[in-house]
């Protein structure tokens, strides 16, 4: 997986290694239930020591996995004490038996933890259209719940491994946030490598915080953070059936996020962590050798800038050019011109990793060697200035390689 630097810390927000088991009162672990032939953990359990305010965003695909149906109901109630996740099997397009299996995962977890079933979130990821091996899933739930009841230490790395499918590495980050009345922690773990395209969530992402946050505020902050992060990443243009972003706020730190300034700082931290998660997903796109970053400036609105940035990031032609280290910049302008508000290409400018390619409507004399060498970097950044307004946005994707075709040609077989 391409190495991506974490966000830069500030006096109010210090980013560090961690995950959803980092905040006070959260426990996460993973176990190998033999759901596939990968030989690693494939069932994850997250537990809050006290009921947590709960919020989520879910796929808008008409084809929705059973876990999405179950967990949307938990989100509407707004309180959760645990989350149970399996990889290797999406439990999607499995009909009424699949919904019964997702509900059984919820019930088995609740009984093992002595909590209400309606407070247990469920997530699944993996192959579509295959029944869950519930005997194995049940055994995994039992093992994890027993570890929790016995007071075994959390193992965030094992939990993070358990949610992976074609991912090549763990994706996580945490931050310590200084608010007006004290410090709180927020942690994240995500998975995603293929079948990634914006429409609310686009993968599995889990956040936890020990701050006291009211549900309306948590809902608003999560949606805005997702709009500026996971909603702007595309690996292959295909939206999944199981996508969800979930956040638990258990209040164990005893510090409330309530003032306008505290809400601003907390949302900034949540957004920055989510942005890092989105970049990790793009960098780990199936078969990828480059992270593609697209910045659109000078747009008529942020929404239009985001629309254009996403169009460039998901363009198969741009992806192929980046893989071939071919600075074919016309493809970038063409992709941006195909969507959203109109703009004048005679006023626009485009750069590639700091090299000017097109300035105020005029092509720059080509330096093919220099431009190609610039594309050797793990991250290829296109910056497009439309000169049509004052707003900007960014999006992320990855190059298109033979590796992507190989992985998806043999995903089931």
pLDDT at 298: 98
Query: Quick one: pLDDT band at residue 208, thresholds 50, 70, 90?
Result: very high
Domain edge (last residue) among 283, 314, 334: 283
Domain edge (last residue) among 283, 301, 322: 283
Domain edge (last residue) among 283, 309, 330: 283
pLDDT tens profile 321-371: 999 999 999 999 999 999 999 999 999 999 999 999 999 999 999 898 999
For residue 34, give the 3-state DSSP assignment: coil
State how beta strands 79-86 and 120-124 pair. Answer: parallel
Same domain assignment for residues 277 and 343 = no
Same domain assignment for residues 296 and 275 = no
pLDDT of 410 strictly over 70 = no
Asked if residue 295 belongs to a domain, the reply is yes
Q: How far is the CA of 300 from the CAs of 244, 385, 399, in angstroms? A: 30, 11, 28
For the segment 201-207, the average pLDDT, to the nearest whole number, is 80
For the segment 298-306, the average pLDDT, to the nearest whole number, is 97
For the segment 231-241, the average pLDDT, to the nearest whole number, is 75
Asked if residue 1 belongs to a domain, the reply is no
pLDDT at 236: 55
For residue 250, give the 3-state DSSP assignment: coil
Average pLDDT, rounded, for the chain: 92
Same domain assignment for residues 257 and 320 = no
Closest residue by Cα to residue 405 from 313, 293, 323: 323
pLDDT tens profile 59-111: 888 899 999 999 999 999 999 999 999 999 999 999 999 999 999 999 999 99
Beta strands in 59-126 (DSSP E): 79-86, 120-124
Domain that holds residue 125: 13-283
Asked if residue 250 belongs to a domain, the reply is yes
Same domain assignment for residues 138 and 223 = yes
pLDDT tens profile 100-118: 999 999 999 999 999 999 9
Question: Which CATH number does the domain housing residue 362 bear?
Answer: 3.10.20.340
Same domain assignment for residues 202 and 57 = yes
DSSP, res 7: P
Total count of residues recorded for the chain: 413
Beta strands in 6-88 (DSSP E): 13-16, 26-31, 43-58, 79-86
For residue 326, give the 3-state DSSP assignment: coil
Q: How far is the CA of 200 from the CAs of 58, 60, 157, in angstroms? A: 6, 7, 26
Same domain assignment for residues 345 and 216 = no
Asked if residue 233 belongs to a domain, the reply is yes
Asked if residue 363 belongs to a domain, the reply is yes
Question: Which CATH number does the domain housing residue 136 bear?
Answer: 3.60.70.12
Phi, psi at residue 308, to the nearest 5°? -70, -40
Query: Quick one: pLDDT band at residue 409, thresholds 50, 70, 90?
Result: low
Contacts of 225 (CB under 8 A, 6+ apart): 267, 270, 271, 274
Same domain assignment for residues 263 and 301 = no
Asked if residue 263 belongs to a domain, the reply is yes
Same domain assignment for residues 142 and 42 = yes
Closest residue by Cα to residue 66 from 87, 43, 93, 46: 93
Taking the C-alpha atoms of residue 357 and residue 363, their distance in angstroms, rounded to an integer, is 6
Query: Quick one: pLDDT band at residue 381, thresholds 50, 70, 90?
Result: very high
For the segment 380-388, the average pLDDT, to the nearest whole number, is 97
- Cα 165–168–169 angle (5° rounding)? 100
Taking the C-alpha atoms of residue 372 and residue 327, their distance in angstroms, rounded to an integer, is 6
Asked if residue 330 belongs to a domain, the reply is yes
State how beta strands 204-209 and 244-249 pair. Answer: parallel
Q: How many domains is the chain partitioned into structurally?
A: 2
Taking the C-alpha atoms of residue 80 and residue 75, their distance in angstroms, rounded to an integer, is 8
Quick check: 174 and 19 in contact, CB under 8 A?
A: yes
Same domain assignment for residues 403 and 297 = yes
Same domain assignment for residues 358 and 241 = no
DSSP, res 349: E
Query: Quick one: pLDDT band at residue 1, thresholds 50, 70, 90?
Result: confident
For residue 49, give the 3-state DSSP assignment: strand
What percent of the chain has pLDDT above 90? 81
DSSP, res 150: T
Please pick, among 81, 119, 176, 202, the residue that the annotation labels catalytic. Answer: 202
Quick check: 42 and 158 in contact, CB under 8 A?
A: no
pLDDT at 165: 86
What percent of the chain has pLDDT above 70? 93
3-state helix, strand, coil in the chain (%, to 5): 35, 25, 40
Taking the C-alpha atoms of residue 397 and residue 320, their distance in angstroms, rounded to an integer, is 12
Helices within 234-301 (DSSP H only): 260-283
> Can you say whether the dihedral through the CA atoms of 200, 397, 38, 247 is positive or negative?
negative
pLDDT of 286 strictly over 80 = no
Asked if residue 7 belongs to a domain, the reply is no
Taking the C-alpha atoms of residue 306 and residue 47, their distance in angstroms, rounded to an integer, is 36
pLDDT at 399: 84
Active site residue 202: yes
pLDDT tens profile 158-181: 999 999 987 888 999 999 999 999
Same domain assignment for residues 160 and 248 = yes
Taking the C-alpha atoms of residue 191 and residue 349, their distance in angstroms, rounded to an integer, is 35
Query: Rg of the Cα trace of the chain?
Result: 22
Same domain assignment for residues 227 and 302 = no
Taking the C-alpha atoms of residue 89 and residue 269, their distance in angstroms, rounded to an integer, is 32
Query: Quick one: pLDDT band at residue 201, thresholds 50, 70, 90?
Result: very low
């Amino acid at each position: 997986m391409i190495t991506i630097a974490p966000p830069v810390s500030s006096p109010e927000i210090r980013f560090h290694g961690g995950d959803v088991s980092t905040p006070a009162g959260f426990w996460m672990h993973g176990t190998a239930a033999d759901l596939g032939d990968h030989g690693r953990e494939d069932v994850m359990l997250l537990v809050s020591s006290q009921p947590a305010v709960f919020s989520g965003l879910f796929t808008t695909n008409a084809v929705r996995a059973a876990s999405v149906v179950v967990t949307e109901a938990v989100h509407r109630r707004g309180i959760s004490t645990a989350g149970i996740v399996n990889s290797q099997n999406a439990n999607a397009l499995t009909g009424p038996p699949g919904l019964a299996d997702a509900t059984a995962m919820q019930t088995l977890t609740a009984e093992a933890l002595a909590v209400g079933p309606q407070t247990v979130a469920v997530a699944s990821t993996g192959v579509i259209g295959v029944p869950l091996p519930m005997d194995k899933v049940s055994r995994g739930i039992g093992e994890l719940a027993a570890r929790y009841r016995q007071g075994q230490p959390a193992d965030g790395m094992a939990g993070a491994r358990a949610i992976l499918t074609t991912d090549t590495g763990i994706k996580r980050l945490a931050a310590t946030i200084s608010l007006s009345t004290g410090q709180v922690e927020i942690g994240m773990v995500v998975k995603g490598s293929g079948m990634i395209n914006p429409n609310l969530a686009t993968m599995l992402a889990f956040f936890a915080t020990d701050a006291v946050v009211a549900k309306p505020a948590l809902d608003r902050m999560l949606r805005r953070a997702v709009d500026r992060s996971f909603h702007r990443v595309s690996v292959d243009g295909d939206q999944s059936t199981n996508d969800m972003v979930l956040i638990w706020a258990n209040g164990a730190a005893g510090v409330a996020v309530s003032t306008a300034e505290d809400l601003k700082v907390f949302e900034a931290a949540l957004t920055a962590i989510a942005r890092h998660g989105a970049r990790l997903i793009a960098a780990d796109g199936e078969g990828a050798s480059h992270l593609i970053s697209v910045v659109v400036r000078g747009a008529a609105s942020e929404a239009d800038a985001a629309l254009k940035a996403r169009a460039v990031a998901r363009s198969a032609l741009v992806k192929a050019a980046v893989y071939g280290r071919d600075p074919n910049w016309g493809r970038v302008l063409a992709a941006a011109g195909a969507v959203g508000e109109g703009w004048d290409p005679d006023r626009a400018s485009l750069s590639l990793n700091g090299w000017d390619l097109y300035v105020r409507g005029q092509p720059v004399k080509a330096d093919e060697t220099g431009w190609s060498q610039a594309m050797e970097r793990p991250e290829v950044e296109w910056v497009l200035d439309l000169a049509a307004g004052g707003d900007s946005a960014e999006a992320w994707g990855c190059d298109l390689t033979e590796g992507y075709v190989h992985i998806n040609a043999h995903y089931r077989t």
